[in-house]
A and B are shown apart, each in its own frame.
Chain A
């Protein structure tokens, strides 16, 4: 359904379609028109990369639909940036194939792949003004001057930078630089936009603002986007789907909700949220039964506290495990959430409660009873 809306929204000004789109598409992919309407925007098959003896990533298989916003999420060193660079053609592959819009681009140089890329440190050309930075790709495509100026102006408006067109990159703030870099990638109408931790170098407030802006623009243009980050919150807020990477493999490809509530294995659970990982023996008293799986993962917000038989916080779910008594070791204030570290017979559990009032904070040493929401317990193969 995204694919059907893509061409109309992406090329907002109809007059540009006949003169510019064919030239850019034909040079990058000699495919029949309309071909990109069907199939996946991007398919990766068996990608592998090694640096000497160490494998950077291996067995990467993935399909991305048209207009989808995919996040590659993983800790640093998991190979996600290298994977992105391989898709861009900036790093060679040892095995596998990449298709974009149905065409095999595995052997094409970066300038002929039809992908745009936004870098963590902007990579704006310091010798060129904002407008010339943005116009660079159009110049390479030999787009005539007046049309070039119009498209540059259009895309600068889109990222709200039209007033800064005559400044040099060093006169801009980090957030502004990244918006120019985004405009520079968008103006050539790439088939896929790759973003390599584009928000990591920015401060928190700008990051939140630009995050929402990127997502909004991506939706408006229906642009297939692959976004790399190590920030779980960013991934969950922006993505249609998240590809969770760990040690050079994609562990799980799911929507944020599924990834968060149903991590597939221990590594996924370890990276998402703040799961407590217990083995079957430790978890048995909480669950009321001995789990057949090797490991049990519990989220802090799926545990409920009672003090002297009086339940703390909101309503209890339908199926809860038998209560287990414990002692508050300490609490951490996360703003709207209070996270208690609770010692249960030598097992440490984290429990989240809403921070409703400072008076209801439980002091260290306080005796509590813990119930677990049985529907939210994840049984994982060890």
Chain B
């Protein structure tokens, strides 16, 4: 309401009393937020409830479901598998995408056009379709990965490729790579040293954001994990799927845990973004 009073010039005199009690923007934002948050709040309530049956509010509150979840070895193992696969895929994508983005930016501009088309593939082809292709691809040849958990790493690489490539390419665009490399070399640094001292630190912010976002995306990935490896290598989402017959309170606790984890990663990514903008430290 204080906000409305600070902007009297925008309001006609007759509208002023109305706007003092009714702020349409706040209502729109509030209702959108409520629609989005409601299922989550309900799930959280269910995860924390001892019993939630025919009543409007739960019977009692308990952390027992979370304790049970975190003491289930099968869950912890699935969580660890998800983390391992995500870390592997991100490491692979960094090593492969960074040089490609750098070359596309400095030497071969035509490569950027190809990459921009290529990174649409994961969105254009549904996972159900591409998993069939991937199964065929990795069934034989030099990399017979079908049936092993390793198949998830190159597969997840294709999923995070758009995020990683765009993030690195955008960061490169914000930096005058050629001039910085020239300047560093004239000050006595070899090309490799110049890249690590002068270019890489300036890409760090953008790359970190991409890593955090991709990470939370991969931890929540289900279709590929289920179709390519399934129960032989139970990741978090596959585990959740397999547990759908178990207590609803238990699976709610699982979903909330997963959500909290993703939230923290996203928050870290955003904080890194602000950090990069303000350049508070080096």
**Within the assembled complex, what's the spacing in Å between the Cα atoms of A354 and B96?**
68
A151 interface residue per 8 A CB criterion: no
B183 pairs with A188, CB closer than 8 A: no
User: Of A116, A136, A170, which is in contact with the most chain B CB atoms at under 10 Å from its CB?
Assistant: A136
Quick one: which of B152-209 are within 8 Å of A by CB?
Answer: 175-176, 179-180, 182-190, 193, 197-198, 201-202, 204
In-complex Cβ contact of B185 among A110, A125, A185, A188 (8 A): A110
Q: Are A141 and B182 in contact (CB under 8 A)?
A: no
Q: Which A87-137 residues have a C-beta within 8 angstroms of B?
A: 88-90, 109-111, 113, 115-117, 119, 121, 123-129, 132, 136-137
Q: Is the pair B187, A123 in contact by a Cβ cutoff of 8 Å?
A: no
Q: How many residues of B contact A (CB 8 A)?
A: 21
Given contacts A129-B282, A184-B187, A188-B187, contact A110 B202 (CB under 8 A): no
Selected from A116, A125, A129, the residue in CB contact (under 8 A) with B184 is A125
**A24 closest partner in B (C-beta):** B188
- A111 near B185 with CB under 8 A, answer yes
> In whole angstroms, how far apart are the Cα atoms of A129 and B201 in the complex?
13
- List B contacts of A90 (CB < 8 A): 182, 185-186
Q: Are B183 and A141 in contact (CB under 8 A)?
A: no
List A contacts of B193 (CB < 8 A): 140
Contact partner of B190 among A111, A121, A124, A127, CB < 8 A?
A: A111
Q: B189 touching A127 by the CB < 8 A rule?
A: no
A116, B282: Cα distance in complex, Å: 25
Whether B185 and A123, one on each chain, are in contact in the complex, defined by CB atoms closer than 8 angstroms, is: no
Taking CB atoms, residues of chain A closer than 8 Å to B190 are 109, 111
- Whether a CB of chain B sits under 8 angstroms from the CB of A168 is yes
> Are B188 and A126 within 8 A (Cβ)?
no
Q: Which of A27, A90, A111, A113 has the largest number of chain B CB atoms within 10 A? A: A111
A127 touches B182 (CB 8 A): no
- Would A125 and B279 count as touching, CB distance under 8 A? no
Q: Say whether A140 contacts B188, CB under 8 Å.
A: yes
Contact with A along B89-110 (1 / 0, CB 8 A): 0000000000000000000000
Contacts of B204 in A (CB 8 A): 127
Interface residues on A, range: 20 to 34
How far is A123 from B199 in the complex, measured between Cα atoms in Å?
12
Q: Are B182 and A117 in contact, CB atoms less than 8 angstroms apart? A: yes
Q: Hey, which chain B residues are within 8 Å of A121, CB to CB?
A: 176, 179
Chain A residues with CB below 8 A from B189, complex form:
111, 136, 140
**A184 CB contacts on chain B under 8 angstroms:** 183, 187
List the B residue with the shortest CB-CB distance to A135. Answer: B187
Collect the chain B residues with CB atoms within 8 Å of residue A111's CB: 185-190
Q: Is the CB of A123 within 8 A of B188?
A: no
Given known contacts A127-B202, A184-B187, A188-B188, A110 and B279 CB-to-CB distance under 8 angstroms: no
Shortest A30–chain B CB gap in Å is 16
- Return chain B residues, CB-CB under 8 Å to A168: 279
The interface residues of chain A lying within 8 Å CB-to-CB of B279 are 126-127, 168, 170
CA distance A90 to B197 in the complex (A): 19
From B176, B186, B202, A88 is in contact (CB under 8 Å) with: B186
Say yes or no: B180 contacts A123, CB within 8 Å: yes
* Most chain A CB within a 10 A radius of its CB, from B184, B187, B197, B279: B187
Assembled-state Cα–Cα distance A109/B187 (Å): 12
Contacts of A124 in B (CB 8 A): 183
**A109 and B185 contact, CB distance less than 8 A:** yes
Indicate which residue in A27, A113, A119, A188 contacts B182 across the interface (CB closer than 8 Å).
A119
Contact check, A125 vs B188: say whether CB atoms are below 8 A apart. Answer: no
Q: Are B182 and A125 in contact (CB under 8 A)?
A: no
Identify which of B179, B183, B185, B201 contacts A127 (C-beta below 8 A): B201
18 A-B pairs with C-beta separation under 8 A: A88-B186, A109-B190, A110-B185, A113-B186, A116-B187, A117-B182, A123-B176, A124-B183, A126-B202, A126-B279, A127-B198, A127-B204, A128-B282, A132-B282, A136-B197, A181-B183, A185-B187, A188-B187
Interface residues of A (CB under 8 A from B): 27, 85, 88-90, 109-111, 113, 115-117, 119, 121, 123-129, 132, 136-137, 140-141, 168, 170, 181, 184-185, 188
